[in-house]
Amino acid sequence: MTFHAANPPGGPGLTTENAPVEVRAAAESRGLGHLVDVRHGASARQTLLAGWGIAGTCLVVALALWPVVSNEDPLSASYGFMHAVYRAVVVGIVIGLAVGIRALVTGRQSYYLYAEGVVHARRSNCRALAWHDVVRVATIHDRRSDSGAGKVLGYRVEATDGAKISVPLSRQARQGGRDPFVDRLLDSARAHNRPIA
């Protein structure tokens, strides 16, 4: 994720005009005011190329190892090692393809924090929530593993009509650092008297 801190309206740097047309239209339709901060996710193209690059590299390695693995004597000392390496390379192919497919499905996601709300843009779809429509900002915890139980992964802005915008923490914040965008989001929610659960 990349971050772009905004300046007050009229100041140098990030302004409301820096947002894409569809984001500005969504923000204006909800009366969200001026742009405060922006977070852009990884480019779908870059993620797709990285995933498929990993898969392609692993495929080349698997094809190079195939003659060695298929002709290996099952009683030799290197048989188990060579098959373990070959299996790891095949898993690399699957993971690389999965990363590429996920990039195609999800696309690039961006979050725009405005003075009076937040906009989530994914591909050409924009969802805007004004703070006066927000019921609460819920904490998203990791519940998949015992080691990460209770670990905060992000926050979900929940509106009265059931609309939700999930904002993940940056990698740095998940490792104990700070996430300036989420800090500004939570500060804005507090300033508008929205509960953070």
pLDDT tens digits, one per residue of 88-103: 999 999 999 999 898 8
pLDDT tens digits, one per residue of 32-85: 888 888 888 877 888 889 999 999 999 999 999 888 888 877 777 788 888 888
Contact yes or no for 51/100 (Cβ under 8 A):
yes
pTM of the model: 0.71
Does position 146 have pLDDT exceeding 80, yes or no?
no
